[in-house]
Amino acid sequence: MQIIDLCTHCHHWTITVIEHDSKEATFTCSHCQNTFKMPWDTDTRFLIRSIRHSLKKRTKQYPELKTLKAPGDHILLEERAAPEPSLFKGKY
């Protein structure tokens, strides 16, 4: 399984590869090859769903995240302010 995630080791947004058996999940950054392991349980599966859900919100602020398609793709993003919400919605 693959997800787009921020690597805490190299600080790049990249494709994280997740391999698991019935007991343990190994997360590997496809850019720097840093790995870490977690137990494969309900909490880990919830974490993965949460990362995917938050990514939808982040792509509004950082549309360049959509360019990450294949393992090894990576980008270093500089933090920027969230866009101001529009005061006027719809037509006048």
What is the share, in percent, of the chain residues with pLDDT greater than 90?
Answer: 76
Using the CB atoms, write b or e for 1-35: b if 16+ within 10 Å: eeebbbbeeeebbbbbbbebeeeebebbbbbeeee
Type of residue at 33? Q
Residue 46: pLDDT over 80: yes
What whole-number distance in Å separates Cα of residue 61 and Cα of residue 59?
Answer: 5
Residue 19: pLDDT over 80: yes
